[in-house]
């Protein structure tokens, strides 16, 4: 078993296609296929199911991927640890982030980090909090800035609270409540709601808040795209709950913002997989983020 074979397996699983995986790591497709077949022969089990259109891991392949990612991450950590002796002039930080991070000025923070460590390569993946939690645990990313969820096991993660946001009610300008500054969530029991997709962590936050207020929300539309949701609200299809910072920073036309008397809080945190030592680039990013948010 060779290190490059592990990399090939990870890339094929990522792209679900031999040719695209080969192109991504700049090797010949025939060589990549041969090496994976050789590895399967060595292990005595198929790692991938092949069809005419795609390739996907078998059950054994999924388990092998967990080990492969860990091994590659440890190799990368060893390399980056040695690079730390050259004053962080080289290395990579893979960052996962939810899309709404105005409360910590995420864009300015990453820009400032790059200016401080111009030799480091920064990769950013945007996803929901549930997915980011998975990606840390499978070593697909080094750190995540997300909203921790109470229904998720975070015991193997190092969590650093960063900031707090609140959710606000957004209505169209023609809505009867549009001129209100403050309301109770229970006042919205009869309203039509635009909700995020069920696979987004804030869906459960909104749903629980409504239940705690004594009603089950009447959801007329679900969307994973906040801008689309806001456009639907502006056109009067329903009302919605949105992070305050995101709305204030990018106030769309045709909507009104109403605060809740009992605010629903959104906690923002930095998460890393617990380990005795972090590669210098990852440790540098963690320390930079904590200093940035404590200014």
The tens digit of pLDDT for each residue in 249-260 reads 667 789 999 999
CA end-to-end span of the chain:
48
Closest by alpha carbon to 264, among 213, 218, 216? 213
Query: Considering only 79-93, 101-115, 240-254, 260-274, which range has the smallest mean pLDDT?
Result: 79-93
Q: pLDDT value at position 249? A: 67
Q: What is the mean pLDDT of residues 271-278?
A: 91
Q: pLDDT value at position 101? A: 86
Assign residue 213 a region: left if phi > 0, alpha if psi is -120 to 50, beta otherwise?
alpha
As a dihedral over the C-alpha atoms of residue 142, residue 154, residue 274, residue 269, rounded to 10 degrees, the angle is 60
CB 3 within 8 Å of CB 72? yes
| Own/partner long-range contacts of 234-237 (Cβ < 8 Å, ≥24 apart) | 234/172, 234/173, 235/172, 236/172, 236/174, 236/175, 237/192, 237/194
Q: pLDDT value at position 143? A: 96
Helix (H) or strand (E) run with residue 211 in it = helix 201-212
Report how many helices (DSSP H) and strands (DSSP E) the chain contains, helices first.
10, 12
Q: How many CA atoms lie within 13 A of 101 on its CB side?
A: 25
Q: Tell me the pLDDT of the chain averaged across its residues.
A: 90
Q: pLDDT value at position 284? A: 92
CA angle 213, 214, 217 (to 5 degrees): 85
C-alpha torsion sign, points 65, 70, 74, 79: positive
Q: pLDDT value at position 100? A: 79
Q: How confident is the model at residue 129 (pLDDT cuts 50, 70, 90)?
A: confident
Closest by alpha carbon to 39, among 2, 91, 78? 2
What does the alpha-carbon distance between residue 217 and residue 219 come to, in Å, rounded to a whole number? Answer: 6
Q: How confident is the model at residue 270 (pLDDT cuts 50, 70, 90)?
A: very high
What does the alpha-carbon distance between residue 68 and residue 176 come to, in Å, rounded to a whole number? Answer: 57
Taking domain 165-265, whether its CATH number is 3.30.70.100 is answered by: no
pLDDT digits (tens, 9 = 90+) for 206-215: 999 999 999 9
What does the alpha-carbon distance between residue 49 and residue 59 come to, in Å, rounded to a whole number? Answer: 10
In three-state form (DSSP H/G/I as H, E/B as E, the rest C), the secondary structure along 119-182 is CCEEEEEECCHHHHHHHHHCCCCCEEEECCCCCCCCCCEEEEEEEEEEEEEEEECCCCCCCCCE
- Residues with Cβ within 8 Å of 52's Cβ and at least 6 positions away in sequence, in order, are none
DSSP 220: E
Domain boundaries, the chain: 165-265
pLDDT digits (tens, 9 = 90+) for 2-52: 999 999 999 999 999 888 889 988 999 899 999 999 999 999 999 999 888
Q: How confident is the model at residue 150 (pLDDT cuts 50, 70, 90)?
A: low
SS3 content of the chain, % helix, strand, coil (to 5): 45, 25, 30
């Amino acid at each position: 078993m060779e290190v490059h074979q592990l990399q090939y397996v990870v890339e094929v699983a990522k792209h679900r296609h031999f040719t695209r995986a080969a192109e991504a790591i700049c090797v010949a497709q025939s060589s990549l296929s041969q090496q994976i077949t050789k590895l399967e022969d060595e292990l005595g089990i198929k790692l991938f199911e092949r069809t005419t259109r795609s390739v996907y891991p078998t059950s054994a392949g999924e388990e092998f991927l967990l080990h492969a990612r860990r091994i590659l991450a440890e190799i990368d950590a060893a390399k980056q640890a040695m690079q730390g002796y050259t004053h962080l002039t080289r290395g990579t930080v893979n960052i996962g982030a939810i899309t709404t991070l105005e409360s910590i000025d995420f864009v300015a923070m990453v820009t400032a980090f790059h200016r401080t460590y111009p030799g480091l390569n920064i990769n950013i993946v945007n996803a929901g909090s549930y997915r980011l939690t998975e990606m840390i645990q499978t070593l697909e990313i080094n750190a995540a800035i997300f909203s921790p969820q109470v229904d998720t096991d975070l015991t193997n993660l190092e969590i650093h609270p960063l900031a707090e946001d609140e959710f606000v009610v957004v209505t169209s300008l023609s809505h009867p409540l549009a001129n209100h500054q403050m309301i109770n969530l229970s006042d919205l029991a009869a309203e039509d709601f635009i909700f995020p997709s069920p696979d987004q962590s804030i869906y459960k936050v909104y749903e629980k808040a409504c239940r705690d207020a004594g009603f089950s929300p009447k959801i007329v539309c679900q969307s994973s795209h906040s801008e689309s949701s806001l456009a639907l609200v502006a056109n009067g299809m329903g009302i919605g709950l949105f992070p305050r910072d995101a709305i204030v920073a990018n106030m769309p036309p045709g909507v009104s913002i109403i605060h809740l008397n009992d605010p629903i809080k959104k906690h923002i945190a930095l998460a890393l997989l617990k380990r005795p030592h972090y590669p210098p680039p990852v440790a540098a990013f963690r320390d930079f983020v904590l200093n940035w948010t404590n200014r």
